[in-house]
């Protein structure tokens, strides 16, 4: 960790590392790939799953790390893992709602932050009963929701982000909270979204 970084820079770095591990855990728990595509490792002193397949590992790593400059500036509101059917209609969303306090100027208490984030990794496997069983032909993607769209003309980092092809629900989704934390300068909420019972069927 670069000790000359701002608290926002340090926080964004810790958050990006956490999101990479948490998103890999979500994909593992959903059973989209055989369990052999993952291997056990320790992170924040918790046993987690790491993707063994190079393309899977690279997709998650590069996507989440591509958000780093935007998280530092407070531009990213939510990061979601969206599972959809073969028609690109969402079946389930795991949403990480994030807030990095841009006015925080004190020294970052890294241990406190990591302790709070660790609880998400412990809670995730315990929330499997809330999750939907996915069809065998499902697909998934990582989607970021920005508070303000970064300008691709002024930032090379923005060029890797493209609009999603996944359809949006017409009705407000059903939300199931999983975990939340607030440890300055970071706030994170994790919740599940499912289509409303009144959502028109595709």
CATH (residue range 7-149+171-194): 3.30.900.10
- Main-chain dihedrals φ then ψ at residue 199, nearest 5 degrees: -65, 130
Q: What is the pLDDT of residues 31-65, one digit of tens each?
A: 999 989 999 999 999 999 999 989 999 999 999 99
Q: What is the pLDDT of residues 88-113, one digit of tens each?
A: 889 999 999 999 888 787 777 888 88
Cα Rg of the chain, angstroms: 17
Task: Return the structure tokens found at 1.
Answer: 């960790």
3-state secondary structure 136-150: CCCEEEEEEEECCCC
* Rounded Cα gap, residues 54 and 77, in angstroms: 28
Give the DSSP letter of residue 196. -
pLDDT greater at residue 4 or residue 57: 57
Q: Is the pLDDT score of 176 beyond 60?
A: yes
CA nearest neighbour of 77 among 56, 96, 51, 103? 96
CA nearest neighbour of 25 among 118, 159, 125? 125
Give 74's pLDDT tier (boundaries 50, 70, 90).
confident
């Amino acid at each position: 960790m670069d000790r000359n970084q701002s608290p926002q820079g340090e926080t964004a770095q810790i958050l990006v590392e956490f999101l990479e591990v948490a998103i890999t855990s979500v994909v593992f728990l959903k059973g989209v790939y055989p369990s052999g595509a993952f291997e056990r490792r320790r992170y924040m002193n918790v046993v987690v799953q790491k993707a063994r397949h190079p393309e899977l590992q690279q997709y998650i790593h590069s996507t989440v790390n591509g958000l780093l400059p935007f998280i530092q500036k407070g531009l990213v509101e939510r990061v979601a893992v969206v599972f959809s059917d073969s028609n690109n209609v969402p079946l389930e969303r795991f949403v990480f709602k994030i807030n990095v306090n841009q006015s925080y100027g004190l020294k970052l208490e890294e241990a406190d932050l990591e302790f709070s984030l660790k609880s998400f990794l412990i809670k995730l496997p315990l929330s499997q009963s809330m999750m939907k069983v996915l069809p065998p032909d499902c697909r998934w993607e990582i989607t970021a929701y920005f508070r303000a769209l970064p300008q691709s003309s002024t930032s090379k980092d923005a060029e890797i982000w493209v609009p999603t092809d996944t359809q949006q629900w017409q009705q407000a989704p059903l939300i199931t909270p999983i975990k939340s934390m607030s440890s300055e300068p970071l706030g994170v909420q994790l919740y599940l979204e499912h289509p409303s019972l009144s959502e028109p069927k595709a």
